[in-house]
Amino acid sequence: MPNAMMEGWNGTTTLLGWSSLSGSYWNNTGEATQETTIKNSGLYGVRIGDNTPALFRGIDTTNPIFIDPTQPYTLTFLWTTPDAANAKMRFAFRLFDQSGALITTGTIVGDSVDPTTGSSSPASLNYVSGTKAHVLASDQSPLTANVLQRFTEVLRFPSNTASVQFGIFTGITSTQNVYVYMDDIYFAQGQASTQPTAAPLGDSGPGGIVNLYSSLVVYGGVKVGATGTLLTRIGKYTAALNPAPVRANTCEEQIFPVTGVQAADVIVANKPSAQPGLAIAGVRAAASNAIGINFCNETSSAITPAPGETYTFSVLQ
């Protein structure tokens, strides 16, 4: 799951990696609030819903998660509500096939696991048109209001499932104090631990080194140094260009298509070869997927930048 420990926020209402849902409308806004009191680990949990009774209000993973439908998956998270008798919780999965089309048939076969005893009971999910998703059949009530408890379910998805979106929301029979609190959500291939714990973030101490032997995706940005500014995007793109001739003693901007560039990017360009009298005076993102290069010819004759060269562009936001 993205942002599994609920620690990444943009302000207090945008939970990074997650969107909001309302009934059949997924990927909306407005249903997540940063929670600092009812939480399990770190600084934050999330409060879900807008206190509207008798409606599915919640949050969902913004991007589909690719799965292997031949394997079981373990879903587990901590949750509660502010009213054990009258505020309920449900969750759902939107299923997509290889072409990205929504799957409206079949059943997610589930076993709800008691994390204390290890005993299990069936708790399957079928498609509900009102949410455009496969939904847990019954509302869930917490044992104690405002005290996080663990929900764990082992799931098997229909054989034509290629990816899923997860959503959690207020139950349909909730009547008052209609919020759900959640923290520490995990979705693992295989029958994983029913009581997982988050590993501590690596801290090498002053002057130390942290080694990362994999890809790292950071939602929300990176700041280096106490006085640094937040970087929200770093990228590298290449394109083979065929610039037009640059007139003598002239600087002229030429626009080239470069797929992946965004209009707000700061651009650094590398031309692979040097040509006497020819310089690059500036580079900018001219628009989405377009870069402007200002070539300067400092000689008394026209110069054509070498055709077919592959330029490299580094981008920052």
pLDDT tens figures, 46-57: 999 888 776 788
SS3 47: strand
Are residues 31 and 145 both part of a single domain?
yes
Are residues 138 and 31 both part of a single domain?
yes
Q: Of the residues 189, 210, 225, which one is the last residue of a structural domain? A: 189
What backbone torsions phi and psi does residue 25 show, to the nearest 5 degrees? -100, 105
Is there a domain that residue 215 lies in? no
More confident residue, 281 or 213: 281
Are residues 46 and 173 both part of a single domain?
yes
H-run or E-run covering 45 = strand 45-48
Are residues 184 and 244 both part of a single domain?
no
Tokens 């079981």 sit on residue = 72
Are residues 252 and 104 both part of a single domain?
no
Percent of the chain predicted with pLDDT > 90: 62
Cβ atoms < 10 Å from Cβ of 4: 16
Query: Which pTM was predicted?
Result: 0.63
Is there a domain that residue 196 lies in? no
CATH of the domain at 20: 2.60.120.260
Residue type, 76: T
Range of the domain at 249: 234-316
Are residues 239 and 178 both part of a single domain?
no
Q: Give the pLDDT confidence score for residue 201 in this predicted structure.
A: 52
Q: Of the residues 119, 154, 189, which one is the last residue of a structural domain? A: 189
Q: Of the residues 189, 220, 254, which one is the last residue of a structural domain? A: 189
Are residues 158 and 51 both part of a single domain?
yes
Q: Give the pLDDT confidence score for residue 25 in this predicted structure.
A: 85
The C-alpha atoms of residue 184 and residue 173 are separated, in whole angstroms, by: 25
Domain count, the chain: 2
Q: Which two structure tokens, joined as six digits, stand for 134?
A: 């496969």
Are residues 23 and 160 both part of a single domain?
yes
Are residues 264 and 117 both part of a single domain?
no
Are residues 168 and 276 both part of a single domain?
no
Is there a domain that residue 195 lies in? no
Q: Give the pLDDT confidence score for residue 196 in this predicted structure.
A: 63
Is there a domain that residue 127 lies in? yes
Is there a domain that residue 172 lies in? yes
Is there a domain that residue 124 lies in? yes
Q: Is the pLDDT of residue 130 over 90?
A: no
pLDDT tens figures, 206-215: 555 666 655 6
Is there a domain that residue 103 lies in? yes
Is there a domain that residue 212 lies in? no
Are residues 88 and 154 both part of a single domain?
yes
Query: Dihedral sign, CA of 57, 63, 69, 75?
Result: negative
